Amino acid sequence: MGELEAAKPLRHGAGLWLSHRFSASWGWARLLLAKNWAVVAGTVLSLIGVLALGVESLGTGVVAVVLAIIGLIPLVSDWVKVRQELQDLYSLDHPVPDVVLEGDWQLVRCAQGRIVTSPSVDRSLDRPVAVDSRTYSLPPDLAAIKPTVIALARSQRSRSAAPPFDGLNVGLCDDPDPAGGAVRLQPVRYFDMMASNYLAGRQWLSRSLGRTVADINPRLITDDGRLIPLNATGLGNQVGVSTVAFTADGWMILVHQGVASRSSAGLVAPSGSGSLEPLDLLGRDRLTDVTAAGMERELREELGLVTPAMRDIRIETQVLGYGRWLEKGAKPEFYGVSRIHAELRDLQLHIDVSERQFVTRHVPIRPDDVRRLLTGERFEVLGQGIPSVPLELCLARWRELQSV
């Protein structure tokens, strides 16, 4: 599976936190190195050659320093250019409109967004997957503004939030066909998502050029208002996975999202929600197995069930539905429900150091309130906060499961 085989076992703690910090800096540096790697590499090799001859005179040392400075000039020039473009680029509100739907596709309106779903697709999710080892590449117009978009995101983040890092996730290349058949997956980097799907809702313009330089709405919706298939959008389409977990004694455990959460900061979210990762693909070739693995991994990370004792607790996850989240560039999302084979008092819930930017607290929902939700009570009446779009969809699919 090419690059996907490089996935590592689930990690947590300070090591993962430090890895994220390093990845944030390296991902940004890689943007600047992309155009100048040859010059930098040549300079480094020249510098090594000079030093290998021995610094026997002041002249040799001066040559080495000059070569090092020359190698840095392209990087500094690019950095200055990006800073200038930050002043040139601005955006305006440009929401993704409602879409014209065909077949049994339906638009679900949630408190914080809209998602397009299909009951026939939900019933046919158990299908094979094919993995393309080629990593997703941005179209030229989006690639051109990628460094500025990333720089803007870094400059606008909360001081308490870590900078975004260019992690490797998994994108969905095809919409699942209700008739069945394999779907294609491919690696996609997070920075490419920030410069594709996550541009949704804004129109990006250049002051110097006096025109729009990025608008992804035409990549999402046709002139007659129909949703464009995933394989024709040209976007990253990173797969989202979310699950709501129930304990053996009837509690539901949710999380309150932190400031670093891209999609649902400050909202109450499912027990585990995030993006599909290469790790979730290893040893699995069915779509439901892959997405369930991603849901369970996110659940364990966000509830802190990562210690040796907690990893022995069995969790069963069932994938219930699929949709495309319009506010997130119509990216694909999968929803499920998980059964934790332990009672709440036996769980060592904690927020791992690697998750503190994404989870501020756990939200246990009492069994009595769980039953109220099952009868159709809105989540907001529980007084626990505002639900995220993935949480509303998980709860809706869970109610449907219980009514069967």
User: Residue 338 domain-assigned?
Assistant: yes
| Spatial contact of 393 and 279, defined as CB atoms under 8 Å apart | no
What is the CB neighbour count within 10 angstroms for residue 381? 10
pLDDT at residue 44 greater than cutoff 80? no
User: Residue 402 domain-assigned?
Assistant: yes
| Overall average pLDDT of the 41-69 stretch | 56
Question: What pLDDT sits at residue 153?
Answer: 74
Rg of the chain on CA atoms, in Å:
23
CA-to-CA distance for 256 and 168, rounded, in angstroms? 25
pLDDT at residue 1 greater than cutoff 80? no
Helices (H), 268-388: 287-303, 308-311, 367-374
What is the DSSP code string of 90-141? EEEEEPPPP-B--TT-EEEEETTEEEEE-HHHHTT---BEEE--SPP---HH
| Spatial contact of 254 and 271, defined as CB atoms under 8 Å apart | yes
| Overall average pLDDT of the 351-371 stretch | 91
User: Residue 61 domain-assigned?
Assistant: no
Q: pTM score, two decimals?
A: 0.81
Question: What pLDDT sits at residue 16?
Answer: 47
pLDDT at residue 191 greater than cutoff 80? yes
User: Residue 102 domain-assigned?
Assistant: yes
Domain count, the chain: 1
Tokens linked to 24 = 């944030």
pLDDT at residue 345 greater than cutoff 90? yes
State the number of CA atoms in the 13 A half-sphere of 164 facing the CB: 23
Mean pLDDT score across all residues of the chain: 84
% of the chain with per-residue pLDDT over 70: 76
pLDDT at residue 85 greater than cutoff 70? no
Comparing 5 with 272, the larger pLDDT belongs to: 272
Instruction: Provide the 3-class DSSP secondary structure of residue 332.
Output: strand
What is the CB neighbour count within 10 angstroms for residue 82? 17
**CATH for 359:** 3.90.79.10
Question: What pLDDT sits at residue 361?
Answer: 94
Position 259 confidence tier, pLDDT thresholds 50, 70, 90 = confident
Secondary element (H or E) of residue 172: strand 168-172
Question: What pLDDT sits at residue 167?
Answer: 87
Position 399 confidence tier, pLDDT thresholds 50, 70, 90 = very high
Domain that holds residue 165: 1-34+95-404
pLDDT at residue 300 greater than cutoff 80? yes
| Spatial contact of 23 and 166, defined as CB atoms under 8 Å apart | yes
User: Residue 312 domain-assigned?
Assistant: yes
Range scoring the smallest mean pLDDT among 65-69, 201-205, 299-303: 65-69
| Overall average pLDDT of the 319-343 stretch | 97
pLDDT at residue 282 greater than cutoff 60? yes
% of the chain with per-residue pLDDT over 90: 61
User: Residue 10 domain-assigned?
Assistant: yes
Comparing 47 with 303, the larger pLDDT belongs to: 303
DSSP state of 57: S
Position 4 confidence tier, pLDDT thresholds 50, 70, 90 = very low
**11-15, 23-27, 74-78, 151-155 — which one is most confidently predicted on average?**
151-155
CA-to-CA distance for 228 and 221, rounded, in angstroms? 5
Comparing 3 with 362, the larger pLDDT belongs to: 362
pLDDT at residue 217 greater than cutoff 70? yes
pLDDT at residue 258 greater than cutoff 60? yes
Comparing 40 with 187, the larger pLDDT belongs to: 187
Comparing 39 with 398, the larger pLDDT belongs to: 398
User: Residue 63 domain-assigned?
Assistant: no
Position 352 confidence tier, pLDDT thresholds 50, 70, 90 = confident
Tokens linked to 276 = 């599909």
User: Residue 80 domain-assigned?
Assistant: no
CA-to-CA distance for 216 and 197, rounded, in angstroms? 8
